[in-house]
Structure 1
Amino acid sequence: MNFVIGVFDLFAYTIPGALYVAFFGYLGAKLHILTAASIGGVPTVMLVVVIVVLSFLLGYLAYPLGEALERIVPRRRDRNPVEVFLKRSPEAKDRAFLKENTHLLLSALQLHDKEVAVDVTRLRASGLMVRNCAPPLLAGAVAAIVEIFAGKHPFVAAGLAVLLLFAALALVSQSRKLSLWAGMKTLELCFWIPEIDEKLAAGDPASS
């Protein structure tokens, strides 16, 4: 049996999951559950496989945390990809595809040309990656705050707490920007798909 991690899985789940693995590894070391002696006896290949699998599973299980954090963090401005697209390309205002969901349009784009759709998928995966990396960084900030009072280097811990908190909030903001770019890219590419408006109109029950 082959275990293959795709690009989307790598970005959306495995990389954020690796941060969770690092965080729990830190907790295990602080609680003396994980020691150099206990890890040193594990074969390197097996250790790498375990870390990769754990990263994927933790990233998958913790996916809702990224969604929740995105809803909690206030938006400075709510930008709709269709509105931004129409500002740049007002000649497309009467096109039927603008009324459809960008996820549906991405499916149409993938059917039309998978290679072209890769750019959109990459942007979406990157956006999910940076968003899902925010919760473990926030957890790290909480751990750093605890270290201010319980550790031996309170000033270093305070600096890390501020840095990790800022990084977590910045990642949420950047994920929204990447999501906007993915939506924009989808609309821009669909603009040039031949007969996309006719196909959407033919599939609309209201048009029949």
Structure 2
Amino acid sequence: MNITVGIFDLFAYSVPGALYLALLAYLGFRLDLVEPAAVAGVPGVLLVVAVVVLSYLLGYLAYPVGALANRLLPRRRRRDPRAEFRRRNPAAQDRDYVGADPFLLLSGLQLHDADVAAEVVRLRASGLMLRNSAPPLLFAAVAAVVETFAGPRPVVAAVSAALFAAVSVVLLAQGRKIGHWASIKTLELCFWLPDVDERVRRSA
């Protein structure tokens, strides 16, 4: 269980937080708010620890920004994991558990077999990592637009701005897709849980 939680934290918080930290570091150096010599003088171990801790904290604090960006980006189509699961698995049409809360089902999976549930956790963490990595890249695109007019390499800055903006949109779309896969995988694994329908009926 400790490994699973560590992977979730790494994907959902630390990786996006590292992107925020890289953007802040770039802005700090670019605006002469931070001296490169001062950073170079910090002991290596202390610097690594600071980067890891700050990445996690920034990723945690900026988590709502990823959720907001996900809501603001228009959806080309609505994905319904329950409808797709029922369509692909006719034997599950009348199963009670299919309509249950997905997080409740995941908790049941974790109690039944933590190793099996780890695959769902990994998918959820990957989807959140992609979603939460989109905003810092969008902010980087804004910084690149400013560099297009104020920086010494306007062509490079303009190309970077377009790439950052495009990648941020792709990350949000892929994050939604992987989140959908996580919901499907939850339903597929719970299909084989003993007495899952009875437990869901009792909790209703």
What TM-score bracket applies, with the shorter chain setting the length? over 0.9
Which residue of structure 1 lines up, in the alignment, with residue 153 of structure 2? 153
Which residue of structure 2 lines up, in the alignment, with residue 130 of structure 1? 130
In the alignment, structure 1 residue 192 sits paired with structure 2 residue 192? yes
- Compute the displacement of 1:202 (Å): 2.2
Distance 1:14 1:201 in 2: 38
Which residue of structure 1 lines up, in the alignment, with residue 99 of structure 2? 99
- Compute the displacement of 1:63 (Å): 0.3
In the alignment, structure 1 residue 36 sits paired with structure 2 residue 36? yes
Distance 1:12 1:20 in 2: 13
- Compute the displacement of 1:36 (Å): 2.3
**Length-normalised TM-score, structure 2:** 0.96
Task: Note the 1:137-148 alignment, pairs <5 A.
Answer: 137-148=137-148
Instruction: Letter of the 2:191 partner, please give it.
Output: F
Distance 1:138 1:203 in 2: 43
> C-alpha deviations, 1:52-75, integer Å up to 9, x for none?
000000000000000000000000
Which residue of structure 1 lines up, in the alignment, with residue 62 of structure 2? 62
Distance 2:202 2:32 in 1: 64
In the alignment, structure 1 residue 116 sits paired with structure 2 residue 116? yes
Point out the more displaced range, 83-92 or 67-76.
83-92
Which residue of structure 2 lines up, in the alignment, with residue 13 of structure 1? 13
> C-alpha deviations, 1:108-167, integer Å up to 9, x for none?
111111110000000000000000000000000000000110011111111000100000
- Compute the displacement of 1:194 (Å): 1.1
Distance 2:182 2:160 in 1: 32
Report % sequence identity. Answer: 55
- Which ranges in structure 1 are unaligned for 5 or more consecutive residues? none
RMSD value, Cα: 0.9
- Which ranges in structure 2 are unaligned for 5 or more consecutive residues? none
Point out the more displaced range, 30-39 or 141-150.
30-39
Distance 2:112 2:170 in 1: 35
Instruction: Letter of the 1:124 partner, please give it.
Output: R
**Length-normalised TM-score, structure 1:** 0.94
- Compute the displacement of 1:178 (Å): 0.5
Asked whether the equivalents of residues 29 and 36 of structure 2 are also in contact (C-alpha less than 8 Å), the reply is no
Distance 2:43 2:151 in 1: 33
Distance 2:121 2:127 in 1: 10
